């Protein structure tokens, strides 16, 4: 079983996560709700969400 004792996200982060979950609900209606939530939280913890919940791509490093 997965570890569910994670530190909760802050108020601003929750706004980004909620926006991403809403976006995923509209674009991927067949995706389970738990998966949408997990995906949005994972993106937030990896610093991949912009201010409105948009995906923020990371520039690739040269030489790799």
Q: What is the pTM of this model?
A: 0.77
- Domain extent listing, the chain: 11-45
Give φ, ψ of 35 to 5 degrees: -70, -40
pLDDT of residue 4: 67
pLDDT number for residue 7? 79
pLDDT attached to residue 59: 76
- pLDDT value at residue 33: 93
Spell out the residues 6+ positions from residue 46 whose beta carbon is closer than 8 angstroms to its own. Answer: none
Please identify every stretch of the chain with a pLDDT value under 70, giving residue numbers as ranges: 1-4, 64
């Amino acid at each position: 079983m997965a570890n569910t004792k994670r530190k909760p996200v802050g108020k601003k982060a929750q706004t980004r996560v909620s926006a991403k979950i809403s976006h995923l609900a509209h674009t991927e209606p067949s995706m389970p709700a738990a998966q949408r939530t997990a995906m949005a939280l994972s993106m937030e913890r990896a610093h991949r969400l912009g201010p409105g919940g948009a995906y923020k791509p990371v520039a690739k490093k040269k030489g790799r």
